[in-house]
Amino acid sequence: MTIPGLTKRPQAPETVQQTGPLVPPAGTPETTPVQPGGPIAVAGPPKVGLLLPLTGASAQLGQAMLNAAQMALFDTPDNGVQLLPRDTQGTAQGAANAANDVIAQGAKLIIGPLLAAEVQAVKPAAAAAHVPVLAFSNATQYAGSGVFLLGFQPAQEISRVVAFAKAKGFNRFAMLAPQSTYGTISVAAFKDAVQAANATLAHIGYYDPAATNLDPAVKQFAATSDFDALMLPEGDGKLQMLAPLLPYEGIDPDTIKFLGTGLWDESGLGVEPALSGGWYAAPAPDLRAAFQQRYLVLYKQQPPRLATLGYDATALAVALAKPAPDGGYSNDALTNPAGFNGLDGLFRLTQDGVAQRGLAVLEVQRGIPTVVDPAPANFQALSQ
């Protein structure tokens, strides 16, 4: 299913009045009269809770995701969805309070929250009310029982890029990972991916992500083994701190292919020479290019990378909305095996609560990253 408002992207208006979160129109009926003893017939549009950290440490990202959600509503006029934005304050208690509030207001679907602890706090109340949750976390331990995680999964990204590298002739794989939760998840996924590709796991090394000097860890790692592909599950400034140390210690990117996760999917990565030519798996950037330009026009700043999740989740809520007791958000509707097409490409929600994505493989360049292996057109192609 192509989500309405995603593949056809109307141009942003020249001027937009920003009036704050969208609110349902006053006086909207919620039910129609029924005969005594008969079933309740829902006539009004479904209400959808949107739980985001609008204050606290993650407020900037939360506001951007709210902006993106409003853009999705704007792109499908008269869509009938009543969005109920609530501030989680970036805390578990705030998220629980927000969830209880939107459930009491009649929400048939909850979009968000963002953080793992917030998802854990929201899950019991949502399950008790039979309200499905489209959360932005990638903490798989909280998936299932009505909670679907839209967050990008490092295991899928690692599996995709390792398989591609193996197909291109790379056989001996190593990883240099941070000693962090993300690093632990990445190491487990990397071992599985290398085994699935029938390749050789040469070595796994670690470093302290809090260290200001990574040279000792890189030097120790460089002396340990022989490999032709190196996975670096790191992003932001830490990756740019790490990358130039590798060739200095003899790990030559001209002979060793550098690989990354979705953390590499940020603008400006190509300015680091050591990463040029590296591969990583992520949604193709052209799919979200128009959204990024429109966001810049509307809000006078570039959107953070995760803002697209707010758009796609809201667009999905609009696409599935029905004047039905469950608002159209039944398990069967949400887990449509054909999936959906959004700003972040092909995805589908699985029965275990994790979003499976069709990812492209991109090559780092000084300009815009180049797609070297396109994302699958559908899930039939992905399974082949």
247-265 pLDDT per residue, tens: 999 999 999 999 999 999 9
With DSSP H G I counted as helix, E B as strand and the rest as coil, what are the percentages for the chain, rounded to 5?
35, 20, 45
Q: Is residue 29 part of a domain?
A: no
223 lies in the same domain as 242:
yes
List, for residues 125-135, the tens digit of each pLDDT value. 999 999 999 99
Q: Is residue 213 part of a domain?
A: yes
271 lies in the same domain as 173:
yes
206 lies in the same domain as 349:
no
d(CA 111, CA 318): 12
Q: Give the chain's domain count.
A: 2
List, for residues 28-85, the tens digit of each pLDDT value. 222 222 222 322 334 567 999 999 999 999 999 999 999 999 999 999 887 889 999 9
pLDDT at 384 over 70: no
What is the number of helices (H) and of strands (E) in the chain? 12, 15
% of the chain with per-residue pLDDT over 70: 87
% of the chain with per-residue pLDDT over 90: 76
pLDDT band for 27, please (50, 70, 90 cuts): very low
62 lies in the same domain as 76:
yes
Q: Are 43 and 327 spatial neighbours (Cβ–Cβ below 8 Å)? A: no
Computed over every residue of the chain, the mean pLDDT equals 87
Q: Is residue 95 part of a domain?
A: yes
**DSSP secondary structure string for all residues of 202-222:** EEEEEE-TT-S--HHHHHHHH
Average pLDDT over residues 291-318: 96
378 lies in the same domain as 233:
yes
d(CA 219, CA 123): 45
pLDDT value of position 64: 98
* Structural domain of 331: 47-151+306-353
pLDDT value of position 316: 96
Q: Is residue 11 part of a domain?
A: no
Cβ-based neighbour number of residue 18 at 10 Å: 8
162 lies in the same domain as 78:
no
313 lies in the same domain as 276:
no
Q: Is residue 319 part of a domain?
A: yes
CATH code, 120: 3.40.50.2300
